[in-house]
Structures are given as structure tokens and as C-alpha cells.
Structure 1
């Protein structure tokens, strides 16, 4: 079966339900351009060959759903600068992502004190074990990881510990994409983010842009059912937020996690990598926590970065949902996971990385 293996396994394993959903999708005969904003959704779609199960008049594109890919180069430059005289703790996905001129991995090779951690607790442990050193945690990610950052700051971290805050939030970014006009007929909202924020924050988007939305889980059937739900809305002229992922997502989300985020963060307007400044789509620490704000604790030089350090020009279109990896002349040739040219190939949640690993899983 070659490259069709995963798609065929999926159809065999979930034969009855999957085929019924696909047949209902085909029966609707509703053309649509659907966007999702989640690296895990893209992995499910590509690994299991779901695009090849859909009619040709349905296009499923990726948006800015990889938190590593959208972290601006100048914020990586800030972490690189801080590693010259301090310990900088990072998640492994950030290690090879390029800043303006260097990546954190290259800076470490040149003597920067950069340490890969698997949790925020590990970063605070480093601070406890090194009381004579300043330890900075490079905090990236969407609403999924922001509550963990908030929890640490609410529990009296070591005085020599601080946060370089690069958290982003999804709903304002969706607002930006819809306002810009990307030709999207429906949105698959991210499951992980939605477990935290719930369904409510998406409702203003449906009302403002008359856009159907479905919050989806991560199994292949979740995604297929979500696509069917979106197509039904489009065909019926509806624009509402539906929740397919009811086993994990509620209307109001995780109230405790949202409460911690509200205590620690406030909205900020910063650019995303490959995108301009998006109003209120970033998070910054509130004044009460400025003692743990690395940008206020240290004198970090201002770094101007008009291009956001995108080494591959195709990445900008891919992040905006206006292009696919196969459209890039570098894809699979000079740009591979072992030799990434653009940010979309570096992270395992990056669209190009996923396409490289699973892109042959199609059924002709």
C-alpha cells in the first residue's frame, strides 16, 4: 500500500462510521475552503490522508497554528542576548528556530548558557540549584501553555527566576485573518486551546464575519465529523460555533486556568512571525509581576526586525493559509527536517515538517 498505509488503516479500522461520514460529506456537494489553526490537527489530517477522502471541491488549509513557527525572530534574539550572562531555559522545539542571525542551538555552541527543559518546574529547579545565577524561562505557546506560566508566577518562584513572555492567543489572530480576507468559508477551531478558553470566545467572530466554526478533537473521525458539521452550516447559511469535542471542551472552558491567566497576564499588541502586529493577540505580564518580567529586569537592546527572520519566503503564505508546502520550490529538496530553511520545517507541529513526514499518505 506504500504511502497510502495510514489512510487505508484508518478506513479499515473505522470503516463503517468513517465511510458514512465521507458519504454524507459527498452528498452535501458543498464547495468550501476550510482553515484550521492547530499543528496536531494538521498532523491528523496529513498522517491519515484525510484530504484524499474529501471531494475535490473541499480545501482544508492550515493557519498559524504552530506556536514555534509564529514566535518572532527578534524575541528569539532577546533570548540569545540574555544567554550571554544568564541561564536561559527553553522547550526543545525552540532550540533550532532561527532568530535574525543565529538560532539558540548555534548560540549554545558558541558559549551561551541555554538549557532545554521539559517543564516550567524544571526551569525553577535550575534557579533553586543556582542561586547565584539569573535564570530566564523563554515562555512560548498559546492559551494551552500560558496557564502553566501563570501558575508558577502565582506560587512564589525563586527571586533569581524570570519570564521572557512570548505567549500568543488565538481568537484575535483569527479575527485578523478573517478581516484580511483569506477566502475562508469555515473554521476548525483548535481543540487544545479550546479546553482552556471554551467555546464562548469564538462567538463574536461568527457574528462579525458570518463564519461557521466547529471545535474539533484530534482523532481522524473527529476531524471528518467537524468538516461535515461545517459544511452543513455553510449549506444552510448558518454561522455559529459548534462543539464536536464535547468530551474535553465546555462552553466556558477551564475556569481555574482562565482565572490564573487573568491574574498574571494582560493583552498586548505584537507581531507574529510571518504576520504583522495583531491587536491584543499577545500576552504580557501585569505590573504586579514586573519583578519576574525579563524585559523589565534586564536591559535588552531594541532589535528592529521588519522581515521577522523568515528565511524561506513561502513560509509567510503557509502561515497565513495561502499556500501549501508543495508550492515551495525548496520543499523536500533543499529544505528538510535535517536541513530546515524555513520555520515551518523546524518544529514537529510545522506544516512543512508534517507534510515531509506524512505527505505521501493519500488515496488516489
Structure 2
């Protein structure tokens, strides 16, 4: 199959791994500590664990899993807002499937649906608009979330609703932007990052130019990467090559999909419909200035936050759940206190175990983690553990 099989060729993967092993020997820093490379996108995290890419790389390379899953970074209070909207009389609440099971402080959307709320899974905002057309006596709300990848589809749907005069359609806007997020990570004192694998899908919309500040100001290399195994291995090699040569540039490995200047029609639609929020709350990262968008005043009639009362409360995550630390790359998923025990894909405590792009779900499904060893290590680390467990 064109553009799939050729990017999963084992022989080519071995060549890339050999080149990576040769390259790290030219990097003096590798002799003192592991090089930390962050893949920002949750899709990359999923591919890394699915194809065992971490196991292919030398020990001196550590992949740090970033906050690139929009479902995962949604704070619990916004989930509560969704439930509050969905439980209003006369509302049909529509959402992507991976948001249905994200826990709120009281319940998830799936639990609200089981209790009688009219919540429907859709594959695109256009599906939600069709439901609004088919139900003129009901109010339809679409749960709009995602980075710049999904913003254009929401914007174009709102423009279509305006053109068709559909007045019973609104969006609960939770779209977020990637650049302020990366800046917040770079400014975090908890992390020492040496380079980035840039998000492929987001870059398909915004292009490569917005990342230039990472190379120019922070002196970190970034390579926009595709999602197949050879894409990721080549992108790692490209980042390491920059480090070995003392360069900090933005390079585009995913040229077959990502145009350097982005998608101008998509960006035009986004600019017309959305404006930046002063700040937006992220799970694990706190409030980040200008990291979210809302509808322009001219489209206020399609804004669920203006049409309906929304609680808009800040809810702290359960203390046992360490999604925030995982999202920031401060700990690995299996280091979370409840990973694989109280928190599994069947009984998720945090959003990272729900979304198909969540790091915890990816590790649980593909990470080759022996949960027995994880539990033993936790027991051994307890202060009151028997001496024979600690040895």
C-alpha cells in the first residue's frame, strides 16, 4: 500500500537505527546524561509504543511524552461543563467518541448518557450540523476540541450554519493552540529538553514557520515528524544530527503532507471565526496565556458559552491521579501511583488512560510493561515495606 508499507520496512529501520547509534557517539553530552527528546503529539506517542521504537533506540536517548493529546489536557472542570450542558432539557449534545469516557468530578458524558441525557457520538462537526437541521425543535451543541488540526473543520461548519441560517446549532469551544503550550514547556524548570519531534497533523495546518522561535530563542532543534515507524526514526536521526553539528533549526521530515507555509484556506477560516482567549486552563499545566480560542463576537449566536449558563468551575484532579506530571513529561506513565491498578482503559481515573492518543493508554496497550514488576517496585518503595522486599 503506497505511503504505508514503505514506511514500515524493517531493513530500512535497521539502517536508521545503525545510523542513530553511530551518530550518538559523536555527541559528547551523551556520555554525561541521556538526551531528552520530546514528541509533542499524542499520535507520535501511540506509534512509538505500538512499534516498539523506544526499544530500538540506544539507552542514551530518552523520549519524553508531551501534552499533545487535546482530550488529555482538558481540565476536569470543562468536562463538568459538558455534562451540565448535555443535561439541560431540549439539548442534543454531540461529541467525538474519545471524549465520551473522560471522567468529570461527578460523571463522564457516557454516564450522563446512560442516565438519560441525549448525547450522540459524531465523526465531524458537519454531522452535528446535520442533526441540527433534522431536529429544528431541539438545540444542538457540538463539543469542539482539538489543536489547530480540528479548528478548520469547526470554523467551516459555523460558516456553513451561518450561510444556511441554522439557528439551533452551537459549539462548546475548547480548541487550543500548540505554540503557547510548547513555550510553557520550555519555560518549565522541571524539564531539560534537548530537542523536539514536532506535531505532524497540527503542522499540516499551521506550517513550519511558527516553530522558529524554538530554534532561535531557545536554541532547541525541532523536526516535524510523520507517524509511521520510519518517519519517527528518521526524525530522531535528524534531531540528533543537528545536535551533533551544533545547530538549532526547524526541519520538516513530513514534507509529503506538511507544507512549509501551512494551509492558507484553513487558516483563513480559523482567523475569521475564532479569536484568542486571554488565558485557558490546561490539565497539568495550569493556565496558559493565549493558548485557547473562542468564537468572534460576530458569531456569538453559535457560542454555547454565551447562549447557555455554564458552571465554568475549576476542579482539581484526584490526588492519586498523576496525569499532570505525565503530561509535562516529569514522570513516565507507569510511575503513576494508580497506573494499571485503579486506572486502566476499562476503569479510567484520568484522561490519559481514555484517549486513543493518551500516553497511559498507549503504554498500557503497547508498552511491553510488566505490571507485576511495576507493582513490586511500588511495594518496595513504600517506607514500611518489609526488608526482603526492598532488597
TM range (shorter): over 0.9
* TM-score normalised according to structure 1 size: 0.92
Over residues 202-236 of structure 1, what are the superposed CA-to-partner deviations in whole Å (9 max), with x where a residue is unaligned?
A: 00122111110000011101100100110111122
Over residues 124-163 of structure 1, what are the superposed CA-to-partner deviations in whole Å (9 max), with x where a residue is unaligned?
A: 1111111111111110111111100000111235100001
Q: Does 1:259 align with 2:268?
A: yes
Q: Does 1:14 align with 2:17?
A: no
Q: CA deviation at 1:312?
A: 4.3
Identify the match of residue 279 of structure 1 among 266, 279, 289.
289
Q: CA deviation at 1:12?
A: 12
Which residue pairs with 1:186 in the alignment? 195
| Structure 1: distance between partners of 2:108 and 2:69 | 18
Q: Does 1:270 align with 2:273?
A: no
| Structure 2: distance between partners of 1:310 and 1:25 | 41
CA contact (8 A) 2:170 2:302 kept: yes
| Structure 2: distance between partners of 1:64 and 1:283 | 17
| Structure 1: distance between partners of 2:63 and 2:262 | 26
Q: Which runs of 5+ in 1 are unaligned?
A: 1-9
Identify the match of residue 213 of structure 1 among 219, 222, 229.
222
For the aligned residue pairs, the C-alpha RMSD in angstroms reads 1.9
Over 3 Å counting, the alpha-carbon distance change for 1:311 and 1:137 in structure 2 is farther
Over 3 Å counting, the alpha-carbon distance change for 1:67 and 1:310 in structure 2 is farther
Identify the match of residue 127 of structure 1 among 127, 132, 150.
132
| Structure 2: distance between partners of 1:216 and 1:276 | 27
* Aligned length in residues: 351
Q: CA deviation at 1:172?
A: 0.9
Q: Does 1:247 align with 2:256?
A: yes
- Of structures 1 and 2, the larger Rg is shown by 2
CA contact (8 A) 1:36 1:189 kept: yes
Q: CA deviation at 1:38?
A: 1.3
Over 3 Å counting, the alpha-carbon distance change for 1:41 and 1:74 in structure 2 is same
CA contact (8 A) 1:345 1:352 kept: yes
Looking at both structures, which has the greater relative contact order when contacts are Cα pairs under 8 Å and sequence separation is at least 6? Answer: 1
Q: CA deviation at 1:16?
A: 3.2
CA contact (8 A) 2:38 2:65 kept: yes
Identify the match of residue 74 of structure 1 among 53, 61, 77.
77
Q: Does 1:296 align with 2:319?
A: no
Over residues 234-272 of structure 1, what are the superposed CA-to-partner deviations in whole Å (9 max), with x where a residue is unaligned?
A: 122211100000101111111110111011111111111
Which residue pairs with 1:341 in the alignment? 349
CA contact (8 A) 2:344 2:353 kept: yes
**Structure 2 counterpart SS, 1:63:** strand
Which residue pairs with 2:335 in the alignment? 327
Matches within 5 A, 1:97-112: 97-112=102-117
Q: Which runs of 5+ in 2 are unaligned?
A: 371-391
